[in-house]
Amino acid sequence: MKESDLYPPLKRFLEAQGYAVKAEIQDCDAMAVRGDEVPVLVELKLTLNLSVILQAVDRLALTPKVYIGVPKQCKTLNRRRKRIIKLLRMLGLGLLVIDTAYGPGHVGVLLDPGPYKPRPSKRRRERLLGEFEKRVGDPNLGGTDKRKGIMTAYRQRALAIARFLMEQGPTKASDIAKALEEPKARNIVYRDVYGWFDRVSQGVYELSPKGKQEIPLWLKDAVTRPVESPASKNKRR
């Protein structure tokens, strides 16, 4: 397929809506005019990439109605449709999908250009600020591969409990909560998100084999809440 294969079905689509359409007008792949309306410009590409997006953004200086036209088989669009549409909406660009195999061709409008008005998410912002405030120190490097796991505030709390169990052995969840002043201790060991804890009896937990293997690795560079045993607290007093 060539980019020029996308033009005939696009031209028929626009002409059916009353536009006069011409190609390659001062480097614009397709230009459509209807009466006194502002012109419509379409950049035709076989794939979506930064180059065509930047090109389309430049066209906004000529008209607010700028579209990018790609074939239905565009792999980039099919893999990341929602994110791409969101990006183009933010930039004020439109998006057309052209199916050259459908008879004389079929054009679908995925997005019309227009002003972007993001919907603020109070809940997500509060979660973001909450994580920032609860996280102890700055234990991660920006750009870290998240698939290997990053140090979150929740993981820091779980590590504090794990280190306590490493030192004290099997302990009641209620005693862990008191010793560490961690009101969520019972919930953390019960949910066992990381597989670090085993319940040995009613309300009593210890480190699991996985926990014994992973905790020392996390504690090397971890910044967690100070962990003191009840005995050490009594000595200090």
Strand partners of residue 21: 32
SS3 call for 130: helix
Residues 25 and 105 both lie in one domain: yes
In a domain, 104, yes or no: yes
Residue 121: per-residue pLDDT: 81
The enclosing domain of 164 has a CATH number of 1.10.10.10
Q: How far apart are CA 207 and CA 167, in angstroms?
A: 10
- Percent of the chain scoring above 90 in pLDDT: 59
Per the structure, the complete domain to which residue 50 belongs is given by: 3-111
Spatial separation of the C-alpha atoms in residues 109 and 21, rounded to whole Å: 17
Taking only the tens place, the pLDDT of each residue in 220-232 is 755 444 444 444 4
Look at residue 225 in the predicted model and tell me its pLDDT: 45
| Same domain assignment for residues 8 and 107 | yes
Q: CATH number of the domain that 17 lies in?
A: 3.40.1350.10
pLDDT (tens digit, 9 = 90+) per residue, 12-42?
999 999 999 999 988 889 999 999 999 999 9
User: Are 7 and 75 in the same domain?
Assistant: yes
Task: Please give the biggest Cα pair distance in the chain.
Answer: 89
- pLDDT-derived band at 145 (thresholds 50, 70, 90) equals low
Q: What is the average pLDDT across 149-169?
A: 91
| pLDDT tens digits, one per residue of 62-85 | 999 999 999 988 899 989 999 999
